[in-house]
Amino acid sequence: MTVPPRGFPDAEFEARTRRAQEMMAEADIAAVLVCTEPEVRYFTGFHTPFWQSPTRPWFVVVPAAGKPVAVIPSIGGPSMSATWIDDVRTWSSPQPADDGVSLLTATVREVAGDGRIGLPMGPETHVRMPLNDLDRLRAELGGFVDATDIIVRLRMVKSEAEIAKHAHICGLVSNAFDELPNLLSTGMTERAAFQAFRAEILRQGADDVPYLVGATGPGGIDDIIRQPSDRLIADGDLLIFDTGSTFDGYFSDFDRNFAFGHADEGARDAYRAVWEATEAGLEMLRPGVTTTELFTAMNDVLKANGSLGNDVGRMGHGLGMQVTEWPSNTDSDDTVIEENMVLTLEPGLVWAPGKAMVHEENLVVRAEGPEMLSRRAAPELPIIGG
């Protein structure tokens, strides 16, 4: 397997910035302020897990023309200066009395002049800085306009370089799932099963496995976001793994289901229902279709198969630098699907009281339809040690 190159050429960041600036001009926005890990990485290439420390805020200001400006703690200075960004302004943080607020205020004023200042304020965004500091910033700058739409439209459509990273990690995780029957057996604890699977994904070449949840249960499972317990896997159990693994900061996101030894008809039918619902989604998926049409196509199959509903709230979503991104496949999302969106289809149903089945594939939308990124799961519930 060819490993895609790490990082991106400067042309990628130039194109992202140019597209942002076109949308900013249309919306009469003179500067956009971003402050979360994926937003900052999107415009700069700055890529570090250091964001897990909640101590310091980080900011990037996208101007109407020219390169973005970074306003960051000095600990990030060397790494940010190694990106395509030229204008890196730092302060010594932590400094609670003024943790970047005055430097950011001055920078935004300089960049935006009298123009309007955009900030993502809508669904799936948040402002990563203390609310007291945000209030002060708003007072100083006279408020923000919502720039969510600009960020969403940019990030939903992937470049070929981004798609190559998704394809790579999806291939690695598909390989790891193929090994699962050799790794797991009854008598193991859930925790040991998770450890074995995580180690296998890393062995295949993933950079990390930031997201791994799942559960086992006799004849079925009711909760898909659990962490492992010391429960021993037994004959007749169902297992779900939901994993988000990364290559160079881009995610895969798989739900896969397995039975140990044997499975009853209800479980096998439920598996077949989510598999067929995925087929229905794949069949109709192409640019111009909406996420709501996609939801309906999958949901119709589940309803015809006796779904008692589900708690997930959607049937798939965008995939990117985060394990879930816009859009959501729901009954009201209505996003028009475009070429080069990377999406998951994730139909799920409750097939008996307290028994859920959720299935997920990853794909990129091409002009002619979906191109699979995950290797399509088997059409029948796989049995381990059967």
Closer of 206 and 365 to its own copies (Cβ): 206
Closer of 195 and 272 to its own copies (Cβ): 195
Task: Determine the Cα–Cα distance for residues 90 and 40; give it in Å rounded to an integer.
Answer: 15
Closer of 53 and 182 to its own copies (Cβ): 53
Say if residues 385 and 261 touch (Cβ distance below 8 Å). yes
Closer of 82 and 234 to its own copies (Cβ): 82
Task: Determine the Cα–Cα distance for residues 170 and 366; give it in Å rounded to an integer.
Answer: 17
Instruction: Report, in Å, the least distance between residue 265 CB and its own copies.
Output: 24
Instruction: Report, in Å, the least distance between residue 364 CB and its own copies.
Output: 20
Q: Work out the angle at residue 70's Cα, subtended by the Cα atoms of residues 69 and 73, and round it to the nearest 5 degrees.
A: 155
Among candidate residues 247, 187, 174, 250, the one with its CA nearest the CA of residue 216 = 187
Q: What is the DSSP string of 261-314?
A: S---HHHHHHHHHHHHHHHHHHHH-STT-BHHHHHHHHHHHHHHTT----SSSS
Distances (CA, A) of 352 to 74, 79, 380: 55, 52, 19
Among candidate residues 133, 78, 77, the one with its CA nearest the CA of residue 104 = 133
Closer of 323 and 364 to its own copies (Cβ): 323
Instruction: Report, in Å, the least distance between residue 80 CB and its own copies.
Output: 10
Phi-psi region of 314 (alpha: psi -120 to 50; beta: other; left: phi over 0): beta
Closer of 15 and 27 to its own copies (Cβ): 27
Q: Is 259 helix (H, G, I), strand (E, B) or coil?
A: strand
Cis link prior to 327 (omega < 30° from 0)? Answer: yes
Instruction: Report, in Å, the least distance between residue 350 CB and its own copies.
Output: 11
Task: Determine the Cα–Cα distance for residues 198 and 209; give it in Å rounded to an integer.
Answer: 7
| DSSP secondary structure code for residue 96 in this structure | G
Residues pairing with 146 in the sheet: 119
Count how many residues are written for the chain: 386
Closer of 101 and 282 to its own copies (Cβ): 101
Closer of 127 and 365 to its own copies (Cβ): 127
Instruction: Report, in Å, the least distance between residue 227 CB and its own copies.
Output: 6
Instruction: Report, in Å, the least distance between residue 82 CB and its own copies.
Output: 8
Closer of 107 and 246 to its own copies (Cβ): 246
Instruction: Report, in Å, the least distance between residue 249 CB and its own copies.
Output: 9
Closer of 217 and 281 to its own copies (Cβ): 217
Radius of gyration for the chain, computed over Cα atoms and rounded to the nearest angstrom: 23
Instruction: Report, in Å, the least distance between residue 229 CB and its own copies.
Output: 8
**Tally of CB atoms within 10 A around 131:** 8
Instruction: Report, in Å, the least distance between residue 369 CB and its own copies.
Output: 26
Class of residue 82 by CB neighbours under 10 A (exposed 0-12, middle 13-18, buried 19+): exposed
Instruction: Report, in Å, the least distance between residue 199 CB and its own copies.
Output: 6
